[in-house]
Structure formats: C-alpha cells, structure tokens
Amino acid sequence: MLNVGDNISVEIKRLGINGEGIGYYNRLAIFIPGGIPGERCDVEITSVSEKMAYAKIIDIKNVSKDRCEPKCKYYNRCGGCNTMHINYNKMGDFKRDRVIESITRYTDLNPRSFEVKKTVLMQNPYNYRYKASLPVRKFNDNATVGLYSVDGKEVIYIDGCMNQADQINNINKKILALMDKLNVVPYIEKYKRGEVKYIVTRVSHFNKEAQVTFVIGEKTPKIKELAKEVIKIDSVVSVFESFADGEGDSLIFGSDIKLLEGKKTILENIGKYKFELLPTAFFQLNPIQTEVLYEHVLKACKLSFKERVLDAYCGVGTIGIYLAHNASEVIGIEYNKEAVENANNNAQLNKIKNAKFLQGDVVELLPHMIKEGNQFDVIVADPPRVGLGSELCEAILESGAKRFIYVSCNPATLAKDLNILTKKYNVNSIEPFDMFPNTSHVEAICVLNRRND
C-alpha cells in the first residue's frame, strides 16, 4: 500500500485526459503531472485512493526527446494549459492516440477497420484564443486578472497569456489601469464581495473589433463610469455589464446583461461568411483553426447542391451557413433562443436564403420532424462535451440520412455514441483536430456512412 509522502520510481506509459502522465505501481494507476510517456520518474505520492494515486516529479531518470522548455513563465502554476512541456508535433500524435484509446476502451470497434487520420495542427500554436473570461482580483494593491491554478483553489496573477490574442492582453491591461484610476473594486473571494468578478473580452480576428463585458457582483454607478472610459480604448466598440451575484462561477454570465456603451454586436468572419456576435453567443474561440475545421466538414459532407442538410446544435449558425451554398436546404436546430435569433440574422447578413434555424431541443424536435415526413440526406452535429446521448442517436438512426458528420469535442462520448450509431452506419474515418494547442483537449470529425442493409 502507498501512503502520502512515499517516494517511488514509475515509468510513464501514457497521457491522461488532463495531460498528466500515467504510470502504474503494483497495478495502481499513478497520475503524474508533467510526465511524458517513455520517461522513468522518481516521484513523491501526494494523494492516494483505492483506485488511483497522484504524485509530483522529484527527478526524471531518462528525459524524453519530446520534452521541451515551456515558453510561459506561469506554466506549472497557472491551469490555463498543461502540455506546453511536450513538443507540439509529438503532442499531435498523443491526441490521435487518445482518440484511438477511447474507441478501444468504450466500443467493440477495431480502430484499424477505418482510417484514424493524423491530427490537424496549427502553424502557430500561440495567441489563438480570441475570447477570454478572466477572474478579476487585487494583487499588490492593483486590479489584476488571472487564471485559476492547476488545483483550482486560487487565482494566479498573469500580465498576459500566450494562448490569448495579444490584442486581448493589451486591452485588459488598459482596463485594469482604468479600474485602479476610478477605484473600481475587484472581487474579494474570501468575503464574496466586490464590484467586478470577471472581465470577458472578445476580439474579432476579421476586423479587430473588441467587445468587453464586466461581470459584476454589486450594482454600482462606477461601472457605467468605467464603461465610458473603456469605450475610448482603441478597437473597443462595445461595453456590457452582466450582474451575477451568485457564488457559482461555472456559467460566468448572470441573467441580467445590459449594453452600456457602443454597439450590440461585433463582426467575425469564418472563410467568406460574416457572423454578428453577442457577448453570450457560443462561437469557436479559435477562428483560425475553425475555418480549417469547417473546410474539412464541408469536404466530408460531399454536397452536390441538391442535398437537404440538418445542422444539429447549430448555435449561431456557423456550420449551417458554411454548408448552405453547396446544399439545396439547411435546417438548423438550437435550444438557446438568443442564438437562434442570431443565426437567422447571420443568414440574412450573408444573403443566404436556403437556411433557416429553429429553436428547440434537437432530441425532441428531430423525431417529431421525421414523423411529419421531413427527410435529410446529410446530418451534421456539433454537440457539447456530453455528446449526443442515446435518444438522439436513435433518432439519427431513424432519420434515414445517408451521411452523418459528427464534430466531437470529447473522444470518450464520441466513442460511446458510436456504439449506437454503428447499428446502421459504418465509420469511414476519424480526423483529430487541435483547436486548443498547449492543452490536452482534442476535437475530431467522424464521418459515418449509412449501410444499405
């Protein structure tokens, strides 16, 4: 039995879903942050349970050739990324391995029976995030922003993040200086008090417009005064406030969102298509790689201008609009009412007349549409991390669609859904995508073709 404080030697066998190295000691899984497969590490046990243990590295006996020096000075303290110590190209291999491992673990499918392509990487794996939601705290008597620590227990002050667009880093520095000047109080976590809890900054890769939202814990006229100064910052075109007085920060935005200065939306482009974005609109954080992803989705759909396409979980209509010019009709379904309004406006903005977006739960709406005689040639789904679920998978099976394109952000739930989908579909290929370099996160496009039997 292991105890906290024990020192042992462990060989790293694979990477975990959070980028940590995993080794085994008497069949007990040991999770070791910073470990790379192939390394043998001397570690100290930091916690133990019946099924696993965690440890920290004391020494590395045989350093992997894929280990590199992290460029970020906050690395290992900040929880913003967790694989910067691994060669970027090699990390692409590890992400592909994770997809294969999920297929092997959660299905009876043989990953060799279809193509698992190489991970599509970015040319520049830095400064790719064009939206940041950062907690605001006081540090050395000044307002600061930060990212939560690896263990999530504290906010680590940062003067800039290498994964965020430089424009966001620069705007935030100016906002924080204005907060100090106007005596706007940052959130004090200990007392659950403070005027600004988060600064949410979204910038457009297309035209550099910036949208700022202050998530506030207390209503105060000082926020309006702050907004009048922030709108003067170069490239900032809108300033919002969102009142969120609850202790839970998982959703960040409160229910009460108000425009204080400037215009309601900013404009972003994916390829030749424009999208108007509200602060709360779900939109890919990495617009550069999103265009690459959507091009691969378009190719996978094999559209010939006559297909009827369903875009499930359509959000603000990005995928549906991207496909519309190659289809006869696109129908999008999205639960969020505001996103659906945004999606239909985006269709008008792009002068697309063969796409419409409906508000509703796709799990309920799709079976109803099928019963009414609606038929789709191609279905595209980009669900949240929980995946499609059994009900929607069964509805897709009953749809009769010849081709199903599954855009997944979680290999485990993709694999579990494939257990159901492969009752009537064959997996043609899975292609991993690196949407979030320097993290363990991996997305994938899974192409499924309906069998004739």
- Annotated active-site positions, please? 409
In angstroms, the CA 147 to CA 441 distance is 17
Query: Cα(109)–Cα(296) distance, rounded to whole angstroms?
Result: 24
b/e string for 216-247 if b means 16 or more Cβ within 10 A? Answer: bbeeeebbeebbebbeebeebbbbbbbbbeee
Phi-psi region of 360 (alpha: psi -120 to 50; beta: other; left: phi over 0): left
What's the CA gap between 358 and 117, in Å, rounded?
A: 34
Q: DSSP code of 185? A: P
Return d(Cα 272, Cα 291) in angstroms, integer: 10
Q: 220-228 contacts: CB < 8 A, separation 24 or more?
A: 220/195, 222/182, 222/183, 222/184, 222/195, 223/184, 223/195, 223/196, 223/260, 224/260, 225/182, 226/178, 226/179, 226/182, 226/184, 227/260, 227/261, 228/261
The amino acid at residue 184 is V
In this structure, how many other beta carbons lie within 10 angstroms of the beta carbon of residue 32? 22
Asked if 414 and 446 count as a contact pair (C-beta separation under 8 A), the reply is: yes
Q: Which residues pair with 115 in a beta bridge?
A: 429
Please report, in angstroms and rounded to a whole number, the separation of the first and last CA atoms in the chain: 54
Q: How far apart are CA 52 and CA 10, in angstroms?
A: 14
